Amino acid sequence: MLTALSIRDVVLIEALDLDFGAGLGVLTGETGAGKSILLDSLGLALGARADSGLVRQGAAQSVVTAVFDLPDPAAAATLLADSGLDFDTSEPLTIRRIVKADGGSRAFVNDQPASAGLLRELGPYLVEIHGQHDDRGLLNARGHRALLDSFGKLDTAAVTTAHREFRDAEDALAQARATQDSAARDREWLEHAVAELTALAAEPGEEAQLAERRATMQRGEKIATELQAIAELLDGSDGALTRLRQAARILDRIAQDHPALTEALAALDRALIEGGATQDKVDEAAEALAFDPAQLEADETRLFELRAIARKHRVQPDDLAELTETLAARLTLIEGGEGEIARLEAAVATAEAAYTQAAEALSAARTAAAARLDAAVASELAPLKLDAARFRTVVDPLPRDSWSASGRDRVEFEVSTNPGAPFAPLIKIASGGELSRFILALKVALAEEGGARTLIFDEIDRGVGGAVASAIGERLARLSAGAQLLVVTHSPQVAARGAHHLLIAKSHDGLVTRTGVRALDDAARREEIARMLSGAQITDEARAQAERLLEAA
């Protein structure tokens, strides 16, 4: 709901702050008083083109601020979030648009910079403006299907689910066919690659194991001669340990002849012990580094094969086992692909049949709802002086490539304004007054299903009066019970129905002309409606008639 509108320096408006309430609000004033300026100002806040001609003469810029209280802010919040803007759904939504005299413009949503395009996207969630050249809301055929579903209280969940399953089945089939086609083109290569990889039988970690074992054997090969030489020097027939043992035996015979010889024998024993430990370690290393030349050659051959095949397939050696499984699966798909594709084709057929059944049921429900909507609109046409017109809701099948989660139907509202005239889309109606009254009839019939909670009708009573104007006023009042309505009107019958009444008037100070707006109390309302009845010269009879209209409302 629009709760406030602040206008600064727009055409003839210098400064204006308006508050709006729920229900039916009427805006009246003499022709040329500036009622269109209010709508143009609101249009700016909703993303209309920034025209520097709207800036009041002598001012640097125009500023329009509109504040909305959204009873269901989820959709607007999602749209703002997608645009990177924060919105606390417990707070009002404030839109500010600035237009500079040089033509530049800026927009803000809750004080966050925004684009005019975003304001245009927000507009349908906030306000519907129905006037001479409106092409949104009920006139946009893209929304007619949702309006019909809402009017008929139709449940589309089954169609949505069936469509998703149908599309998933089609996607799976398409992917299988693409894979099959690609694999079939590579069959000869796949057969060779799988045979080669299977024969190789690579295992994860095998390359590292082989490389480590080869490195160990290569180290052993390199120092084998040195280890043998060390063994000969230590324990050969003429080795150090042999000579030390010989010396130890001699010392053992003469050690008692002098204390130093005893100490020498003890030292020699220790040397023999360390020498023996040295020989043990050398033997241990020789055993660990021992290698079989045939095994070394076999390991090197295997390692080179692994690395060569890995380079060939542009993978790491550890990935060869997984590659073997992947390519084998592709080859299996070729060999058994026809059966899998046949299974997926059957799944698609089953899913399509389920979708068709659900969509046909929804189409039948839409056709029935369309008949009820046509009857409801028809009952509203005669009181609105549209008794020669006809309305119909067209429900036609869509081509297969246009089927969607919303079903298989194209829905559009069409009218024929004169007997014998062909039906045409609602937007093709030539007369602005007829168009507005058709929209009113539709809105009443739809009971405000879908659409914004604030509706603005610009001169819906153009060209009518008397009973027709009374009928329009009665329907506007009825419609305002579930929404906020703002109506620019020249009809006293419509004005008398308003819960709120704003008077738009020009004033002159000799130099500058300004447009102002003021809320009317009961006495002022009666006077304004009397003016609308009698013209410039207000008579007592007009005041009495105005009083009767207000009492009847």
DSSP 315-383: S-GGGHHHHHHHHHHHHHHHHHHHHHHHHHHHHHHHHHHHHHHHHHHHHHHHHHHHHHHHHHHHHHHGG
Of the chain, the percentage scoring pLDDT greater than 90 comes to: 33
Q: What is the mean pLDDT of the chain?
A: 85
Question: Is residue 407 helix, strand or coil?
Answer: strand
CA-closest candidate to residue 77, choices 91, 66, 65, 67:
91
Q: What would the DSSP string read from start to end of 83-105?
A: TT----TTS-EEEEEEEETTS-E
Confidence at 135, pLDDT banded by 50, 70, 90: very low
Contact 77, 125 (CB under 8 A): no
Task: State how beta strands 484-488 and 454-458 pair.
Answer: parallel
Out of 261-270, 407-416, 513-522, the most confident range is 407-416
CA-closest candidate to residue 166, choices 408, 520, 428:
408
Average pLDDT over residues 108-129: 90
DSSP state of 497: T
Q: What angle do CA 456, 462, 467 make, to 5 degrees?
A: 105
pLDDT of 300 strictly over 80? yes
Residue 192 amino acid letter: H
Of the chain, the percentage scoring pLDDT greater than 70 comes to: 93
CA-closest candidate to residue 93, choices 46, 134, 153, 130:
46
Contact 395, 370 (CB under 8 A): yes
Cα distance between residue 362 and residue 539, in whole Å: 60
Average pLDDT over residues 483-502: 90
Residue 372's contacts (CB-CB under 8 Å, 6 or more residues apart) are 151, 152
Cα distance between residue 202 and residue 197, in whole Å: 7
Contact 24, 498 (CB under 8 A): yes
DSSP state of 139: G
Confidence at 133, pLDDT banded by 50, 70, 90: very low
Cα distance between residue 452 and residue 449, in whole Å: 9
pLDDT of 33 strictly over 50? yes
Q: Is the dihedral of CA 335, 339, 344, 349 positive or negative?
A: positive
pLDDT of 348 strictly over 60? yes
